[in-house]
């Protein structure tokens, strides 16, 4: 499975999308489209990323940019949270040591 996106009813009428699989350069456009569509119908969006198995640099960048006022990432595993908090420059510096 590359990526599965399921729209659920969130608390208080907010949108909730459950994301499963891999958030990569190949799948991020579908995730972006699903988020845009959900935000057209709802004031806020919870993006449940608890079942994300892998995210490449493009996917991580998208998730970082998405997390904000109207979108909240929920269910982050410790591993994904660490990746999201590491800047691309940090990752490059670590890999060259």
Q: Give pLDDT tens digits for 14-56.
A: 789 999 999 999 999 999 999 999 999 888 899 999 999 999 9
> For residues 67 and 11, which has the higher predicted lDDT (pLDDT)?
67
Distance of CA 28 to the CA centre of its chain: 9
Q: Give pLDDT tens digits for 52-72.
A: 999 999 999 999 998 787 899
H-run or E-run covering 1: none
**Whether the model pTM is above 0.85:** no
Q: Are strands 3-9 and 15-23 parallel, antiparallel or unpaired?
A: antiparallel
CB–CB of 10/16 below 8 Å? yes
Cα 78 to Cα 83: distance, rounded to the nearest angstrom: 9
Give residue 35's pLDDT: 94
């Amino acid at each position: 499975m590359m990526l599965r996106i399921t729209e659920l009813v969130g608390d208080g009428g907010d949108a909730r999308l459950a994301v499963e699989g891999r958030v990569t350069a190949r799948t991020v456009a579908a995730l972006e489209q699903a988020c845009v569509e959900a935000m057209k119908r709802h004031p806020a969006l919870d993006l449940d990323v608890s079942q994300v198995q892998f995210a490449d640099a493009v996917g991580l960048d998208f998730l970082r940019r998405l997390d904000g006022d109207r979108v909240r990432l929920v269910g982050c595993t410790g591993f994904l949270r660490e990746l999201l908090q590491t800047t691309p420059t940090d990752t490059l510096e670590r890999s060259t040591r």
